[in-house]
Structure 1
């Protein structure tokens, strides 16, 4: 059975909060009645599935099972792999899809004058502008002329420069509320990759999450596509090329290997300095085809860590984009650079954590710290090693604790910076695929420099 719906926030917070709209939101806003009858027709299979909306804002299908997600309800009712339930469930007798009613809620939220969401007036204008842009993008996608935008420009629409876990989830939620996804997935490509905003369920769109709205997406690790070279294009020769042609292209571009392609989707293999030298040494009369060797090719959205064994074997892999075309190449050097950029802030934050823990352990009793961080005792903090960045912040923002330190520093400014670093730390620990901006790295460096002066 579906649990009772939790109390809802204001309609404007549905947009500002960046979460997925649920059927319960439609019921709470009185745009959909509990008990409303739903129909999902599949004419090609001569099937019609029926359901109803529950008091809790769930969907009860004919066998009595209930779901919070329209997509999950449709998948189970029809026994299909994936489907956008917001589009396929039709409200009777109005004949309107749930998606159409969801759009009504979003329109109301965008125009809502209330300030219950705790945002500044200017923020509401930003939300309205973004809502109008998303509605226009939806219209363009439905006419077959989807909006083209880089990942960097998409992030800017949400006021960000990199894909932290919070902003990524907000973007995904806002897009999903308008029935949109990006192709390719904006989380799995580089910042300068070009995206298309397309409707969920369109030919090139990824399958919708059948549990949308019920659970958060798992965090995405670093993918092959996050590396800039992965979708930047690939220099290639055809299977009928000559040694001179391949050697010239490698010299002109300072490459160690080339793709051998018969059309952008057909990878015949690769040719490299090593393969050319090996075949010509063995047979001076060898032809170009003799130098073509097997090449590994991976999808852009594959986890980078799963690609490492192939890179260790061949030093490079070719990459397929969301349309299965060979669109780039990733080398061992690209991976070393990517992990190096990630490692620097990781180690800096690790050192900051150790310095803060040492300072707190030197100054306060564990009982005093747990009284601030875990007053109910639910976490069972047994040592200072059980504390995290949020705990350090709770201790130091306490006026009494701050006074014990005796630091000639402004507590408000210090805690504000520590809170910023906590957010940076969360991005790093969620493996944000984008290198941290230089100012973020410097915030950690400068905090470390300050704290080292009080460490001993």
Structure 2
């Protein structure tokens, strides 16, 4: 896409793999900025390793599945029937494709029945609901979900999904486990490398020589990026100081494999990582724990 000067709207990195996106030509300003970044060479890869990870609500399947909906003038009996037929706790109350009146749920029905509402129409049983855009950071949306049970997701002015606490819970392990594995792997690598007692100058030698700004900031093993950690373990003079009964070449290949998986995780591919990649992370963490 970069070669052909194309981009997607919204960015394919912030929506689910099954979402529709628009492919269009990049603006002159965007192309100019990318050329400037390419001129920075290896610095770009370090920046990519360290850039903040922003997961969006649009990367959840539920955010891209049109919600079941009902009219405010329908009966609560009809709402209950739809909820039971579809094993769902929420219905969007809407007038047309874009006008949202609220949501109805088992909770709102229970509260209204307890208050002995005299009418059986949905409008007397609904509750307000927050609407978030499809590119809203996931953790910002989670706060809204905790406060209001669920949120409706909007894309291009139309409601495209409903995300509830149940959806978040079902996705939690899938979303968080790779990050936890990577954090533990990096922690173990730093702890192992610390045993070599590298001097500040030796640590700086692991940084790209052309990146003078970064060299000035790095002074200890804790400051190294994952790529720089992998570079350290690949150097014979450092490996020999570790006294590990392991093959340096095979160990370094595994770290390169982890680095590749890390890029997928940190850039958050909408389709996630494969079970094979997840197993590599799990086994690597287990191996490092024993060193």
The alignment status of 1:275 with 2:112, answered yes or no, reads no
Residue in 2 that maps onto 1:304: 138
The question of whether the paired residues in 1 share the 8 Å contact of 2:117 and 2:124 is answered with no
Give the distance between the partners of 1:345 and 1:220, measured in 2 at CA.
13
Match for residue 211 of structure 1 among 5, 29, 43: 29
The alignment status of 1:446 with 2:272, answered yes or no, reads no
Match for residue 313 of structure 1 among 126, 147, 160: 147
Structure 2: tracts of 5 or more residues without a match: 38-50
The alignment status of 1:418 with 2:255, answered yes or no, reads yes
Distance 1:241 1:343, change over 3 A: same
Distance 1:281 1:352, change over 3 A: closer
Residues paired across the two proteins, number: 271
The alignment status of 1:248 with 2:81, answered yes or no, reads yes
The question of whether the paired residues in 2 share the 8 Å contact of 1:187 and 1:220 is answered with no
Moved over 6 A (4+): 217-220
Give the distance between the partners of 1:431 and 1:198, measured in 2 at CA.
20
The alignment status of 1:392 with 2:229, answered yes or no, reads yes
Residue in 2 that maps onto 1:46: none
CA offset at residue 333 of structure 1? 2.3
Distance 1:373 1:254, change over 3 A: same
Match for residue 15 of structure 2 among 170, 177, 189: 189
Residue in 1 that maps onto 2:40: none
Once the two structures are superposed, the pairs formed by residues 141-160 of structure 1 within 5 Å of their partners are: none
Structure 1: tracts of 5 or more residues without a match: 1-170, 201-207
Match for residue 262 of structure 1 among 95, 100, 108: 95
Give the distance between the partners of 1:369 and 1:249, measured in 2 at CA.
66
TM-score of the two chains, using structure 2 as the length reference: 0.79
Higher relative contact order structure (alpha carbons within 8 Å, sequence separation ≥ 6): 2
Give the distance between the partners of 1:427 and 1:379, measured in 2 at CA.
29
Once the two structures are superposed, the pairs formed by residues 7-406 of structure 1 within 5 Å of their partners are: 171=1, 173-174=2-3, 177-178=5-6, 181-182=8-9, 185-193=11-19, 195-199=20-24, 211-215=29-33, 221-288=54-121, 289-322=123-156, 324-366=157-199, 369-370=202-203, 372-374=205-207, 378-379=215-216, 381-406=218-243
Name the structure where helix makes up a greater proportion of residues.
Answer: 2
TM-score of the two chains, using structure 1 as the length reference: 0.53
